[in-house]
Structure 1
Amino acid sequence: MRILLPPSEGKTWPDSGPALELRGLSFPELTDARRRVLEALIDVSGRDDAAGILKVGKRVMPEVLAQRELRDMPCAPAYQVYTGVLFQAARLHGGDEVMIFSGLFGVTTAEDLIPAYRLSMNTSLPGIGSLKTFWRRELTKAGFGRANCVAKHGTTTDAAIDDSMEVAVETAPNTTVDMRSGAYQVTTPHGQWWDLRVLDSHGKMVTHAAKHYRGLMTRALLDARHESQEGHPGVSADIREHEEPIDVARVARSLGNVEIVNDGLRHHITLRLQES
């Protein structure tokens, strides 16, 4: 099972740690693309029009100016750097396997060492253009979204699952649970694919609460995965054929009142919040 997350705007800036090493990040096939974005961001951060390009306010301009030294800024595991609403609810820690999509790095794992930064996927950088378009192209070339894409072995590809395959309630090891917000949905998962939206009691989409519940669901799925792996002592977690199927629907229902609509191999979960 793959869990896809967005980054968070809220970040904790590491006080100490090693400098950024692009080649040390997971998915090293993205190194050149990451270097191009990094260099463009460093250049923009020193410009007079940086705030306009990066779409930030005056309050965070000290952080933008600091990005001129991004190569030498201290790094920490991504799960410690990202501290927004979703990540607070997800309570990620070492050993949690997720894929975090971002405008700066494309995709990292929770344990990759990164600095704090200011760069949204909705940005268009000089020399790069739209980051959405850039990363959609680069990730597609690298094979992301295919049925067998995992971090520890780099990116590998496998044939997409036959759309005629019968949908099971429990997930197969190549299932994707997509918790990304719209700006970061730059790849399309193959195989079984679950997503989550949150509505208020009047049926209106909510965004802040959606981040919270996506974080809660991420934590619940990771806990279910850890429990399943305990049934295979001594077996490496990256051997996917030994991963027990996770009942995503059951996990979703633990959050509250949900409806699930199955569209072929895609499963759309809607969580309806009750009036307090």
Structure 2
Amino acid sequence: MTFQNEFTTQDPEILPASPLVEFWNDTLAPKFVKYRHVLEGGLSRHSETVMPMLEIARGDHVLDVGCGFGDTAIAMANRVGPEGRVVGVDCCDAFLDIARNRPERGFAPNVRFQTGDAERNLGDAQYDFVFSRFGTMFFSNPVAGLRSMRCSLKPGGRMAHIVWRRREDNPWLIAARDVVRRYLPAPGADARTCGPGPFSMADEETTCAQMKAAGFTDIAFQRIDAKVQVGRDIEDAVNFQLAVGPAGETYREAGAQGVARRAEIVIALSELFEDVEAREGGLWMDSSSWLITARAPS
């Protein structure tokens, strides 16, 4: 699919991806697609809360880094109107296939999607606003990735990204991990992972220092709390946790040991989810994120 006729200007070429991207495409993407209903449904609770707070103006050129299934890019395309445009970048082709074929994309001709590794090159001074929902946490080199985002902004351009707060504030991910690790060891130093991990930017002081090193100014943090769906029912929630996130990583890296103990683990996780709030056709748990905003120097 080509988008050459959608915009009058062309975006810079995204350089080839790092080896970490291969792991996302080969191992993680199929799991994320399978549990899209959990991930998108849960993550959207945070992005829908922050979307009205974002400094996006009609006519802006916007970059969505780690755009995933495309829902945030399309939402921002509606914000900027036909005078503006949005480019969604992600390293996973499977995610972008879904993004390009979302029915609501038909009402947002000013958005396009392209494959790329955000840590490598996002172009220079192309955008008025750059956004990321739960994507920057997985940068293998956070300062390099954030600097790439800053360089993509025009002078004085705005940025915002959402990251998970502390583990203890996110039982939707950590409670299941703790259960699994009663049966299996934590992944070793040589484990294949998604990158630094979902809580790599939870510490306000550390992340602020990374953003300053990347060249951002006017850095601000705002806490966002929301209930997120962890599955349609107990079985769905258990299978989701054993597929992705810290519990899934523990199970995957345990290999044959994990398979041998799966029945025990499933029973223990099922007991965990029996006490979880059930409503709106699903199971819901607490989660907490940071909305981090900043500017590129003028």
TM-score where L is the length of structure 1: 0.26
TM-score where L is the length of structure 2: 0.24
| Structure with the higher fraction of residues in helix conformation | 2
| Structure with the higher fraction of residues in strand conformation | 2
